[in-house]
């Protein structure tokens, strides 16, 4: 029997400062066989280990189409992530996974796609976005709403800015919006206020949302008001996961009629899961 | 199912023989009030009429603290801790505990089997023992008062010995290897068994059904009872540590002082601790004591699909060992009766 808790060695190839708190890491498996074999679905996460320090669950933020390596966007939020931020190209970490269900991207094909990321929530959605860009012909119009408090807190800001011209030609609308930055020249306001500016047809769209728990209700309200089908709304959630495989119990949510493990039943949930399982958001 | 009988004076002989299958663990009385399951040297010290032990059966399969990996920090390597697990025998598991273990099986041996748990589960021989309920027991409401699968042998008390049910191939082998100790079952034994079971059913303090308690619980999430009861709670986690089906654990990497090596350990955790629902950045999904308190009630009463039972097996441990005298069953009963008052 394989040990599900065993980690595979990964080397950091590149690091990139996204904001003052978030860093992007490019990893490659040391074992070339694993590197070839390894794949994931956008929305899945890995357990990243720093030997002797600990393990943290992190969403994968690169495209699954790009084989052999993967990217993780990591925010300094605790002891382990602080240590991870000290890693440099060439350093080794441990990875196991991918875990979780991921977004049903196959279902999204031939439909418009609206991605709403608030703060660090943009990280897992970047994986969906890049997958859609890599398979551009399979999708209809795409809108990304990337929101943060200030301009320099916007994740992947430069990357998204850089593709703006190409994006317009490809029917991809990028809305980067901030709430508390008087110097910001672009869109202003919370993510939900820009749903109406999306180029997606509400009747024919899938929506992916990720952000802090407080924002979901308002985003749902605006989406449904705007004519988006609740059945086509997906969210991805965050919890503290020690095992990632439905054992340690830290990510259990819900009540007596529906008990869900975020790690194996999620982290991606549909709108109707959210409203029938209390405590998910 | 195969049934056999063993007479009282031969039972100790059999227990002695069990030692050849591995270390023998059984409940022993350690003080006026408490029993503890521990390794047995002298089979005469085994307690047959115990109600509950300080720590539940899960401790043999999911140890309180367990080393998962040795870490070589310099080489960035994790070596799994797979020392040989010697076979062992557990005598005296009650029906509810065996169902509890089956629930843990459902969690730990599901799509991603846990190798540490699986190895221990394979090494353990389980011998059940019948019991009479005390005021804390409500396994009848949970339908876990009788168990058909999950044990190798099950001992049912008779006036002059035990009626034995054989529950697995290993059970058959153990019986066959010691067949001289057993007799076949006669009509008077069957009558005595039936009489015992009837007496047992009548001695439960609570009668009725708990089948819809999970819906009622959900509908009464705002009941004042939760404020009042959670106010008493000390947040010590005793209820979860003594619960046969609570399975939460935490993991930590502990470096040695030379910072070159270390170990990754896991240890029991509790949803009653504030740290349990904490995520990166300080947000807590179960911020208040009331949230955590109510969470245990909904978790324990939720439906466990593989067995068709709830996660709570009605053993009464959480109530018995609660230092704040919070009565789990009584609270559920209050919720149940409130609902019946409201809905007729």
Full 3-state SS string of A204-261: HEEEEEECCHHHHHHHHHHHHHCCCCHHHEEEECCCCCCCCCCCCCCCEEECCCCEEE
Q: Who among A4, A75, A253 is closest to B114 (CB)? A: A4
Q: pLDDT (tens digit, 9 = 90+) per residue, B288-326?
A: 999 999 999 999 999 888 888 899 999 999 999 999 999
What pLDDT, on a 0 to 100 scale, did the predictor assign at position A206?
A: 96
Measured CA to CA, the distance from residue B164 to residue B128 in angstroms comes to 9
What pLDDT, on a 0 to 100 scale, did the predictor assign at position B337?
A: 79
> Which among A85, A247, A253, A279 is the top mutation candidate for probing chain B, defined by the most B β-carbons within 10 Å of its own β-carbon?
A247
pLDDT average, residue stretch B225-252: 93
What pLDDT, on a 0 to 100 scale, did the predictor assign at position B208?
A: 82
Q: Check pLDDT > 70 for residue A140.
A: yes
Query: What b/e readout covers A156-176, taking b as 16+ CB neighbours within 10 angstroms?
Result: bbeebeebeeebeeeebbbbb
pLDDT average, residue stretch A156-172: 88
Q: Looking up tokens 């991918």, which residue turns up? A: A98
Percent of chain B whose pLDDT exceeds 70: 98
Measured CA to CA, the distance from residue A162 to residue A26 in angstroms comes to 20
Q: pLDDT (tens digit, 9 = 90+) per residue, B131-182?
A: 999 999 999 988 999 999 999 999 999 999 999 999 999 999 999 999 999 9
Contacts of A81 in chain B (CB under 8 A): 280
**Structure tokens that stand for B86 in this block:** 């010697």
**Neighbouring C-alpha atoms within 13 Å toward the C-beta of B1:** 17
Radius of gyration in angstroms for the set of CA atoms belonging to chain B, rounded to a whole number: 22
Residues 62-121 of chain A with CB under 8 A from chain B are 75, 77-78, 81, 92-94
Bond before A267 cis per omega within 30 degrees: yes
Q: Under an 8 A CB cutoff, do A250 and B276 touch?
A: yes
What pLDDT, on a 0 to 100 scale, did the predictor assign at position A278?
A: 80
Measured CA to CA, the distance from residue A73 to residue A62 in angstroms comes to 9
CB atoms within 10 A of CB A201: 14
Q: Who among A2, A54, A279 is closest to B253 (CB)? A: A54
Contacts of A56 in chain B (CB under 8 A): 280
Supply φ then ψ for residue B296, to 5 degrees: -65, -40
ipTM for the predicted complex comes to 0.90
Q: Check pLDDT > 70 for residue B340.
A: no
| Residue B344's pLDDT band (cuts 50, 70, 90) | very low
Contacts of A52 in chain B (CB under 8 A): 71, 73, 253, 255, 259, 261-262
Q: Looking up tokens 């929506």, which residue turns up? A: A207
Q: Under an 8 A CB cutoff, do B80 and A3 touch?
A: yes
| Residue A265's pLDDT band (cuts 50, 70, 90) | very high
A vs B: CB pairs below 8 A: 140
Q: Who among A6, A9, A248 is closest to B76 (CB)? A: A9
Q: pLDDT (tens digit, 9 = 90+) per residue, B174-204?
A: 999 999 999 999 999 999 999 999 999 999 9
Contacts of B255 in chain A (CB under 8 A): 52-53
Q: Looking up tokens 């000390």, which residue turns up? A: B234
Contacts of B283 in chain A (CB under 8 A): 212-213
| Residue B77's pLDDT band (cuts 50, 70, 90) | confident
Distances (CA, A) of A162 to A24, A167, A184, B71, B326: 17, 9, 17, 43, 61
Q: Which helix (H) or strand (E) holds A69?
A: strand A69-75
Question: Mean pLDDT across chain A, nearest whole number?
Answer: 91
> Which among A29, A52, A118 is the top mutation candidate for probing chain B, defined by the most B β-carbons within 10 Å of its own β-carbon?
A52
Q: Under an 8 A CB cutoff, do A94 and B76 touch?
A: yes
Q: Under an 8 A CB cutoff, do A254 and B111 touch?
A: no
What pLDDT, on a 0 to 100 scale, did the predictor assign at position A186?
A: 87
Sheet holding A112-118, edge to edge: A187-188, A172-178, A142-148, A112-118, A205-210, A233-236, A268-270
Q: Who among A6, A54, A212 is closest to B80 (CB)? A: A6
Q: Check pLDDT > 50 for residue B343.
A: no
Q: Under an 8 A CB cutoff, do A252 and B271 touch?
A: yes
Query: Best-predicted range by mean pLDDT among A40-49, A254-263, B69-78?
Result: A40-49
| Residue A212's pLDDT band (cuts 50, 70, 90) | confident
Question: Mean pLDDT across chain B, nearest whole number?
Answer: 91
What pLDDT, on a 0 to 100 scale, did the predictor assign at position A213?
A: 85
Q: Who among B73, B107, B248 is closest to A52 (CB)? A: B73
Angle at CA of residue B268, ends B258 and B312, nearest 5°:
170
Residues 201-230 of chain A with CB under 8 A from chain B are 212-213
Q: Under an 8 A CB cutoff, do B71 and A213 touch?
A: no
Residues 131-190 of chain A with CB under 8 A from chain B are none
Q: Check pLDDT > 90 for residue B212.
A: no
Q: pLDDT (tens digit, 9 = 90+) per residue, B247-292?
A: 999 999 999 999 899 999 999 999 999 988 888 878 888 889 999 9
């Amino acid at each position: 029997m394989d040990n599900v808790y065993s980690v595979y060695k990964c080397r950091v190839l590149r690091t990139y400062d996204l904001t003052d708190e978030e860093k992007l890491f490019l990893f490659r498996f040391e074992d070339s066989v694993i590197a070839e074999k390894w794949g994931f679905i956008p929305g899945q996460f890995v357990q990243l280990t720093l030997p002797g320090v600990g393990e943290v669950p992190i969403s994968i933020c690169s495209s699954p189409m790009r084989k052999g390596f993967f990217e993780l966007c990591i925010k300094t939020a605790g002891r382990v992530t602080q240590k991870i931020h000290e890693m440099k190209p060439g350093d080794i970490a441990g990875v196991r996974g991918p875990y979780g269900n991921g977004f049903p991207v196959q279902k999204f094909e031939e439909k418009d796609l609206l991605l709403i990321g608030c703060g660090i929530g943009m990280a897992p959605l970047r994986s969906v976005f890049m997958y859609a860009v890599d398979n551009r012909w399979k999708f209809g119009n795409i809108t990304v709403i990337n929101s943060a408090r200030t301009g320099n807190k916007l994740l992947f800001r430069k990357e998204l800015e850089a593709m703006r011209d190409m994006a317009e030609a490809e029917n991809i609308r990028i809305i980067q919006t901030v709430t508390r930055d008087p110097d910001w020249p672009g869109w202003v306001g919370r993510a939900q206020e820009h749903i109406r500016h999306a180029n997606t047809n509400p009747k024919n769209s899938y929506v992916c949302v990720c952000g802090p728990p407080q924002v979901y209700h308002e985003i749902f309200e605006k989406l449904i008001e705007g004519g988006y089908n609740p059945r086509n709304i997906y969210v991805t959630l965050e919890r503290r996961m020690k095992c990632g495989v439905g054992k340690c119990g830290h990510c259990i949510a819900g009540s007596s009629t529906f008990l869900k493990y975020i790690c194996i039943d999620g982290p991606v949930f549909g709108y109707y899961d959210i409203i029938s399982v209390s405590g998910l958001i | 199912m195969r049934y056999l009988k063993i007479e009282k004076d031969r039972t100790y002989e059999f227990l002695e023989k069990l030692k050849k299958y591995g270390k023998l663990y059984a409940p022993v009385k350690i003080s006026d009030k408490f029993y503890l399951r521990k390794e047995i040297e002298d089979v005469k010290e085994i307690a047959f009429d115990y109600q509950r032990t300080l720590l539940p059966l899960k401790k043999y399969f999911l140890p309180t603290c367990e080393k998962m990996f040795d870490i070589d920090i310099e080489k960035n390597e994790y070596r799994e801790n797979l020392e040989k697990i010697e076979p062992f025998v557990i005598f005296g598991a009650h029906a509810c505990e065996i169902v509890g273990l089956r629930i843990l099986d459902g969690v730990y041996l599901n799509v991603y089997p846990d190798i540490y748990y699986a190895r221990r589960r394979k090494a353990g021989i389980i011998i059940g023992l019948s019991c009479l309920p005390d005021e804390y027991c409500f396994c009848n409401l949970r339908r876990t008062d009788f168990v058909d699968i999950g044990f190798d042998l099950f001992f049912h008390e008779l006036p002059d010995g035990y009626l034995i049910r054989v529950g697995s191939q290993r059970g058959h082998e153990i019986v066959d290897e010691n067949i001289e100790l057993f007799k076949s079952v006669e009509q008077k034994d069957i009558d005595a068994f039936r009489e015992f079971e009837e007496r047992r059913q009548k001695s439960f303090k609570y009668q009725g059904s708990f089948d819809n308690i999970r819906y009622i619980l959900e509908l009464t999430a705002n009941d004042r009872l939760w404020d009042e009861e959670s106010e008493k709670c000390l947040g010590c986690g005793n209820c979860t540590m003594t619960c046969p089906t609570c399975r939460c654990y935490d993991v930590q990497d502990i470096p040695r002082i030379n910072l070159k090596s270390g170990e990754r350990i896991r240890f029991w955790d509790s949803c009653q601790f504030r740290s349990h629902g904490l995520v990166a950045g300080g947000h807590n999904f179960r911020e208040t004591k009331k949230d955590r308190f109510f969470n245990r009630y909904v978790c324990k009463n939720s439906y466990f699909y593989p067995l068709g039972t709830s996660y709570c097996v009605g053993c009464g441990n959480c109530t018995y060992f609660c230092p704040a005298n919070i009565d789990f069953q009584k609270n559920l009963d209050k919720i149940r009766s409130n609902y019946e008052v409201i809905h007729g």
